[in-house]
Chains A and B, each alone.
Chain A
Amino acid sequence: MQQIDLARSAFLFLPLFLLGLLILPGRAALRIIAALVLAALIGWGLPQMLDRGTLTYLVSFSTMAGIYAILSLGLNSQWGLAGHVNFGVAGFFAVGAFTSALFTTTMPEGALAAYSQQAFGLQWPFLGGVIMAGILAAIVGFFISIPVLRLRTDFLAIATLGIAEVIRFIFQNERWLANGPQPMRGIPRPLDCLFKDPACSWLPPGAAEFLEPLSPRDYVFFYLIVVSLILAVVFIALERISRSPWGRMLRAVRDEENSASMNGKNVFWRRIESFVVGCFIMGVGGAVYAHYVVSIDYSHFNPLFATFIIWVMLMLGGSGNNKGAILGAFAVWGVWSGAAFMIDIASPALQLISDDLPTRGAYLRWMLVALLLGVIVLYRPQGILSERKKVSDFMTDDDEPQ
């Protein structure tokens, strides 16, 4: 095994371990051991089985799917837990992405300032940016939720869709804020010195030597760890929340809005809190996205990529189920990415139908995802994994209502 593959294996260990913990059944102690063993085996095996290009593709696929999983979890804490129909995920996603970018980049100076404008650039570290992204998205969500959450579901859907569009208009048109219609570039990647030559100065020589064969192209191996950890934190937090009295109350409100609203004021604030929590997570998702793609502009946060597809993910995986939200994100991102290959392969056939069709193949993917949502809504609205009703540890599995 070459050193480069070994180094890549090392990076795969943690994400695989977390994945193992998520999907393996059984008791905690056993699960940890099993996940450790499996992660080591698979992490070691994968670079041997796959060629380097394929493995890199797989890792960047998982990174993107993981980012979508964060967004999908955010949406689940609104829709799955409290029944808020937020058709404006894109807005909070965008606020998070641009906030983190503004907090972590350097203010352009000199000649550059003429081409690239932004409100400020504070050079904060990555984590600071991520937290600020969550906080700002939550603040925006809070101010929006007060007038909007009193409304009927259908008004909420329309209003949130509008909010997302307005936020997108702002990032498109306000040059001073985040470089207007031009992309905001140079968003720093955390610890990207690991993959540079010479590597970060603080690294012990042994580690630097170990990482030496890796090039900046392999950065995504590290970023997958970042995404996995953030995803794990969000997942655990949401699992706790949904089993807490707060979460149980929200579900009760969602299912029986009339009876639970007997103590109205209380319920209203709980509903606002759940909306704000979801916005915070979406903001974090935006930040994680921004630092991954390095350069962002308003067009990334369109209703298709940043709202619609996330709804399809959550609906497919299973509304109300956090594991489902993650599963849905990977599955739909798989369909979306896989469709690109299929369309490439089918392109000679498409050419026969019309000369224009192969160049418009991308829209076949839209169609596919739209069809997928249609099929889910018609045939399995509860998704693959339906909601776990077990909300108390005092309930045994037999008590679970069907």
Chain B
Amino acid sequence: MSMHDVADDTAPRHDDRTGRERILAALRSRITLATALALTLVVFWLLGYRQGASGSDLLSLTIWGVMLGGIIALGAIGLTLVYGVLKFPNFAHGELVTFGTYGTFTIAALLPTGAALRPFSFGWELMVGMILTMPLVTLVALAVDRVLFRPLRARGAELVLLAMASLAASFFLRSVIYLIWGSDFMFFYPGRANPILTLPLNIRIQGDQIFVLVLAAILVALTWILLSRTRMGKAMRATANNPDLAQVRGINTERVIAATWALGASLAVAGGVMYGLASQLRPEMGWFLLLPMFAAVIMGGIGSPVGAIVGAIIIGIAQQVSSSFINPAYGPGVSFILMVVVLVLQPMGLFGQKGD
């Protein structure tokens, strides 16, 4: 492996694979994966059409799918960065989403309620609450890291133990959420009208949904700028790419890890608030998002924020469009099936890198 990595390109490469291996390799290429995913979406649209959904219904569903994808993406970017930098799947990421939503709910309730910013259903206090909650949830994430993950990291613990620790953190944080806010569903603005707008092409969409779409796009763009333009962002990518070398280059990896948690937690807060706006607040909301988030992360390739965004949007569309022909309760199941397809065809995902 390493010999190939450092081999000069003047050295001739022998391709001694058999025909069968070549076919398998082609089946497992990224292009095949991309084609398979695109075909799946086309099949979903056709199935929806056969079930009697009109073209504009399907278009609306697709746009809702992009919106759901935006929400999933906000969670998935943080998940993929933590996965890339710390090298374990963080099963507690969903709880950061939930914490962010409930935290925003509580802080917004403390602020004076402003009039709804039409065409949206919420007032300025929700946005202020969201921004104030971001550092709080960052603190939660850092505290968990300090108590649980950092000692394991220092010891060089196996991935399995870290994953298990994150599962423990997930249940711990969820129990805290239940203890503070109880198990009842809540709404940011119970009973407030959320009028449906009809756009050209007969697309029906709520004001809040447009907001979610736009805010998700803005945050995703900001994250992209952060990762590609700032030094800390580049250091995050570098650490995700090759943690040992990052250390050798003089990067203080613990600081990079803290920054990664901060970014992941803040985006999780935004994702949670938007999810709360689109449906309701419940203690299990983050857990329900976890499967689609993981599916997006794996589809995009672990450690790749761009991949997570693309994966999230594909999954969002697939979930929404599939609701035109199967029980919408199976949405997370659809994302799971897509994830398994990715794992079978190309576990590296659309934008993933080979392990060094």
Contact = CB atoms under 8 A, between A and B. Distances in A.
Direct A–B contact in the complex, CB atoms closer than 8 angstroms: yes
Interface of A: 83, 85, 87, 147-148, 151-155, 157-159, 161-163, 165-166, 169, 172-173, 303-304, 308, 311, 315, 356-357, 359-360, 363-364, 366-367, 369-371, 373-374, 377-378, 381
Contacts of A311: 164, 167
A373 B168 contact: yes
B152 A377 contact: yes
A374 B333 contact: no
A375 B63 CA distance: 45
A85 B163 CA distance: 10
A381 B161 contact: yes
Interface string B106-123: 000000000000000000
A360 B167 contact: no
14 contacts: A87-B91, A151-B343, A154-B89, A162-B291, A165-B336, A166-B333, A169-B330, A173-B329, A360-B182, A360-B183, A370-B171, A370-B172, A374-B165, A377-B165
Contacts of B161: 377, 381
Chain B, interface size category, equals: 35 or more
B179 interface: yes
B197 interface: no
A367 B174 CA distance: 8
Contacts, number: 119
Nearest to A303: B287
Given A154-B163, A364-B175, A161 B332 contact: no
A308 B170 CA distance: 10
A155 B159 contact: no
Given A360-B178, A366-B174, A381-B161, A165 B343 contact: no
Centre residue among B151, B294, B295 by max chain A CB count within 10 A: B294
- Residue among B179, B294, B295 with the highest chain A CB neighbour number at 10 A: B179
Nearest to A83: B160
Contacts of A357: 179
B347 interface: yes
B298 interface: yes
Contacts of A364: 175, 179
Nearest to B355: A152
B266 to A, nearest CB: 24
A340 to B, nearest CB: 14
A85 B332 contact: no
Interface in B289-331: 291, 294-295, 298, 327, 329-330
Contacts of B148: 374, 377-378
Nearest to B162: A377
Contact of B89 (A148, A157, A359): A157
| Residue from B147, B148, B183, B333 having most chain A Cβ neighbours under 10 A | B333
B151 A378 contact: yes
Contacts of B175: 363-364, 366-367, 370
Nearest to A146: B344
Contacts of B189: none
Contact of A374 (B88, B168, B176): B168
Nearest to A361: B179
A304 B294 contact: no
B164 A377 contact: yes
A366 B171 contact: yes
B337 to A, nearest CB: 8
A373 B89 CA distance: 17
A87 B176 contact: no
Nearest to A304: B171
